[in-house]
Amino acid sequence: MPLKNVLKYDEEITDTISDHYAQIIGEVGEDVTRDGLLKTPVRAAKAMQFLTQGYEMSAENILRSAMFAEDYSEMVIVKDIEFYSLCEHHMLPFFGKAHVAYIPDGYIVGLSKIPRVIEVFARRLQVQERLTDQILQSIHATLQPLGVAVVIEARHMCMMMRGVQKQSSVTTTSAFTGAFKSERTRNEFLKLITSSLH
């Protein structure tokens, strides 16, 4: 679920980033003036701005825009949320699915806001461990629920395309607060995100 369908690009920033991409293309041995590469630096500059637009977003504001007082205190799960991010170590993509749950304590949030929170933090230079924790902490701090759980499963292009070059490996990270520290509640969450109910 994209944060924005149309991103307005600052011309000065685009020009600066584009110049750097043109230099990099030349340094690796390519001819930036050939037909196929003429517009590549500008395209890459705009792509980088799109992929890092999360720095301009506030997860807390997104959550607060759709908080509703509700007397409901059972687990709410949004699972299989696709995301795409950039590894801060090699600037290569990592991507996968996030599963998020919370137990309300007076407030619920519009379901579409959970994927938007993930996008806010995924659209930054990231590591999977920090991404997991940032999602958890923003929901916990804003909604102040009885507990929050986040599990992320991702494939990392820095492992698949370079380095160990292991194409089938999946990295899983998790974080829990409040009621999800209880083994019983945590196991219920893990069972529900791995089961098919539809």
Q: What is the DSSP string of the chain?
A: --S-SS-PPPHHHHHHHHHHHHHHHHHTT--TTSGGGTTHHHHHHHHHHHHTGGGG--HHHHHHTTEEE----S-EEEEEEEEEEEETTT--EEEEEEEEEEE-SSEEE-TTHHHHHHHHHHSSEE-HHHHHHHHHHHHHHHH--SEEEEEEEEEEHHHHTSTT--TT--EEEEEE-GGGGSHHHHHHHHHHHHS---
Same domain, 31 and 117: no
Same domain, 82 and 141: yes
Same domain, 36 and 134: no
pLDDT, tens digit, 9 for 90 and up, residues 29-86: 999 999 999 999 999 999 999 999 999 999 999 999 999 999 999 999 999 999 999 9
Q: What is the pLDDT of residue 1?
A: 42
Does residue 5 lie within any of the structural domains? Answer: no
Does residue 130 lie within any of the structural domains? Answer: yes
Q: What is the pLDDT of residue 198?
A: 58
Same domain, 73 and 148: yes
Q: Is 140 assigned a catalytic role?
A: no
Q: Is 87 assigned a catalytic role?
A: yes
Same domain, 85 and 183: yes
For residue 137, which amino acid is it? Q
Whether the per-residue pLDDT at 2 is higher than 50: the answer is: no
56, 70, 82, 88: the active-site residue: 88
CATH number for the domain spanning 166: value is 3.30.1130.10
Same domain, 164 and 86: yes
Domain extent at residue 120: 59-194
Q: Is 53 assigned a catalytic role?
A: no
82, 89, 129, 167: the active-site residue: 89
Same domain, 134 and 161: yes
Same domain, 103 and 45: no
Total structural domains within the chain? 2
Q: Is 198 assigned a catalytic role?
A: no
CATH number for the domain spanning 15: value is 1.10.286.10
Q: Is 88 assigned a catalytic role?
A: yes
Q: What is the average pLDDT across 152-178?
A: 89
Same domain, 115 and 73: yes
Whether the per-residue pLDDT at 163 is higher than 80: the answer is: no
Q: Is 128 assigned a catalytic role?
A: yes
Same domain, 91 and 139: yes
Does residue 3 lie within any of the structural domains? Answer: no
Mean pLDDT over the full length of the chain: 94
Does residue 1 lie within any of the structural domains? Answer: no
Same domain, 90 and 146: yes
Q: What is the pLDDT of residue 112?
A: 98
